[in-house]
Structure 1
């Protein structure tokens, strides 16, 4: 008993000394020279990462990363074809093992739908059978077995659901970490939802009314996103809520929307209500039920009026995503190398019309338009007009013959320095074109290709702006 007490005191002292510091280290020879980024989700809606730490693996394959967190949360690293994750707790050190490095294939790099193989990191220095990560692994193993049973409709009823819940709850001891208890609670809520034995309204009240918002617990957020899916749409189906269309599409009034949603007893708590609004603005932007300009205006109002700094950050993240390729907004920035190894940034072309395209020098569809591009570049060379081609090939060798060919009058850049530029511009095939104005805002997104009479659109735009 005395030994246990001394160990507990030592653990508490360590946590106090380290504060919210988390150390993650390991060794895998095949990672030598690679850069490892430890991340968490930027917000519950956009799928974007927030990078918490970045480290370069040494020549022996050793690495060490330090992050600072104030509560347990999911951390992950994208490692070629893999995505490893663990649940980190403040003040802890994790020595992890990793699989052999596997590069993404050229096709996977360009595939916007590519999903890495996920795995939970093996923590070599975790000797506690009741640690948070081992508890979650044990729970998830049983949970997914139970979940598989409920994909067979004949096996679903409340009795079988209750038996499944009881078997899962047996894994939760009184001394379990609070994060784990919350994780289990909301995973069970998700099971209830997927088993279709409870109405969404019941689940909303049961799991979210007068409950703390667990921003860093992915089980809570998963259930939240499913329970409040299409909430604006369903609100508009009721007699009391049908004014939501006028409020968003015509009035574009955040305060009126906020007032309307207070009619739902579960959403009387302002922070939960704001979170529901943020989720639905994000989701509805990609549907066709509400005005995009109305949704964007309400998002901007929420950003200004919210007292919750986390919600402000979420709102800005959503705004960056939904306006990323919209005409009238800033396109994603990039800095890439040309064939002479000079770093060129999009901002370098401010004051010019930029006809931006993504292509491959191994694609016939791209190559057949090179002469048309060159003609455009020559014809408009004195009109503050530049053409920039971002080449999506394995290396720069394929673009050099074109970039350095005499008479080629436009700029070739290679994507390798910033490979995520492909996803940022939603490139799903070749070629893809955009037109950016002298003010740095998108004018045409996407733009037509030269063979589709892009020049006619360019002429109309330039003339309307007094540039012709």
Structure 2
């Protein structure tokens, strides 16, 4: 599936440029102007890896009363793709250690009520314009190339899919080289190469197996190159199911479901000579393990055992890191495992972590004041709090664009349990797989999930709560 990238060029009045150095070789500095954001925070994230796409906070930017900001963050991978879901915009850019980026953000535009109610709303992709760098800066190169790349999916794409004309492909390739070669930026050259390979595959000029042979076999694994990993994820999507249908991979179900064996699975994958060396082979295994958690063909417990074996056996630190991320992602909402961490402001503006409730039962719920279903549950939550509040904690993740919307709601309503502001960690909706409001989870005193998801108050959650508290000797 092609993600259509809309490049939004932000027109600004240029002001005096500053130096491009962050002042420290191991940090990144971002400063500039954010119209409409005065007094608010903008949180930028990055992906811990490009198989799980687990999000981690990169930097929180506080915008002052003049709509200006400056923030410094520790450098991660180099370059690093960072992004922020901000109102109707999905802001993104690439940052490199030791550099200072002076930017102007598009004016803040809040989401509509209905957009706010949709946990999977995606804003307009907006590549942030960098003011204080020349044309050969990575963001400028990618922005210009992506604009060109999008045009290929018009007339050239239609002509290729209809005619399979090699001359059209040669013409596109020559134009690409004429416009974008000679930058001296190896990361950008790899980005171009794998974007064009993706185009070839989408136009059905080259099949997945040919792409695997020509672009991945015997080539370096580019873990942090967005274009490489997008193509990788497309080519090796649900690879185990594909391989199991072939003579060389017919043992894959036994390797996993019967033996739960990392070594047997590795031997089976080695039968597919298109995978080349151990590094790529193991990356494909990681991708296959990840995808298999979301199907019904393989035992989840067996997949976890193989994943754990890979994490301790691999010779590649990157793979151990990805294996841990896959385990964390796939078990985060399973009963008996710890749910994703939360770090959000309460009504007093104090940041609270989910781990702060360790030792207490927690009834975690996700709600918004714009949902009648949520509002109808609040009176029942209040009754639970009044009856059992000394034995368990109710924690509501309040879905709103502005912190003031939560505090204003609480000023009008006498609800005494804990409310936390979702805007400090928007990724929490994906972390908890929130598909409707309200959604609830019940967490034990050891910090692990007891019910995932849990019944709503209107679905007789009280009966389960009473049974749990009695079994723990907290009530009679």
TM-score, length-scaled by structure 1: 0.83
Q: Which residue of 1 aligns with 2:3?
A: none
Q: Which residue of 1 aligns with 2:342?
A: 334
CA distance in 2 between counterparts of 1:133 and 1:417 reads 27
2:112 matches 1:101: no
CA distance in 1 between counterparts of 2:418 and 2:60 reads 30
Q: Which residue of 2 aligns with 1:395?
A: 406
Contact 1:96/1:121, CA 8 A, preserved across alignment:
yes
2:136 matches 1:141: no
CA distance in 2 between counterparts of 1:162 and 1:65 reads 45
Stretch deviating more after TM superposition (363-372 or 324-333): 363-372
CA distance in 2 between counterparts of 1:72 and 1:402 reads 47
2:293 matches 1:285: yes
CA distance in 2 between counterparts of 1:251 and 1:56 reads 52
2:189 matches 1:181: yes
Q: Which residue of 2 aligns with 1:350?
A: 358
Q: Find the partner of 1:321 among 311, 322, 329.
A: 329
Contact 1:210/1:266, CA 8 A, preserved across alignment:
no
CA distance in 2 between counterparts of 1:338 and 1:38 reads 21
CA distance in 1 between counterparts of 2:380 and 2:131 reads 59
Which gives a bigger RCO, structure 1 or 2 (Cα 8 Å, sep 6+)? 2
After TM superposition, list the pairs within 5 Å mapping 1:354-433 onto structure 2.
Answer: 354-360=362-368, 363-370=371-378, 372-373=380-381, 376=384, 384-392=391-399, 394-400=405-411, 402-404=413-415, 411-416=417-422, 418-420=424-426, 421-433=428-440
1:173-225, Cα deviation, whole Å (9 max, x unpaired): 34532122212211121111101122211110100111111122211111111
Q: Which residue of 2 aligns with 1:309?
A: 317
Stretch deviating more after TM superposition (457-466 or 130-139): 457-466
Q: Which residue of 2 aligns with 1:7?
A: none
Measure how far apart 1:161 and its partner are.
Answer: 2.7
Q: Which residue of 1 aligns with 2:441?
A: 434
Q: Is the alpha carbon distance of 1:428 and 1:26 closer, same or farther for their aligned partners in structure 2, counting shifts above 3 Å?
A: same
CA distance in 1 between counterparts of 2:387 and 2:195 reads 62
| Aligned-pair Cα RMSD in Å | 3.3
2:203 matches 1:195: yes
Stretch deviating more after TM superposition (44-53 or 323-332): 44-53
2:166 matches 1:166: no
Which of these two proteins has the greater Rg computed from alpha carbons? 1
Measure how far apart 1:261 and its partner are.
Answer: 1.0
2:54 matches 1:48: yes
Contact 2:343/2:351, CA 8 A, preserved across alignment:
yes
5+ residue gaps in structure 1? Answer: 1-13, 405-409
Q: Is the alpha carbon distance of 1:371 and 1:61 closer, same or farther for their aligned partners in structure 2, counting shifts above 3 Å?
A: closer
Q: Which residue of 1 aligns with 2:7?
A: none
1:47-73, Cα deviation, whole Å (9 max, x unpaired): 333444444333333333445367444
5+ residue gaps in structure 2? Answer: 1-19
Contact 2:87/2:108, CA 8 A, preserved across alignment:
yes
CA distance in 2 between counterparts of 1:190 and 1:169 reads 16
The alignment covers a number of residue pairs equal to: 448
2:240 matches 1:232: yes
Contact 1:110/1:427, CA 8 A, preserved across alignment:
no
Measure how far apart 1:164 and its partner are.
Answer: 2.2
CA distance in 2 between counterparts of 1:459 and 1:390 reads 23
Measure how far apart 1:402 and its partner are.
Answer: 4.7
Q: Which residue of 2 aligns with 1:4?
A: none
Contact 1:22/1:69, CA 8 A, preserved across alignment:
no
Contact 1:339/1:400, CA 8 A, preserved across alignment:
no
Contact 2:35/2:106, CA 8 A, preserved across alignment:
no
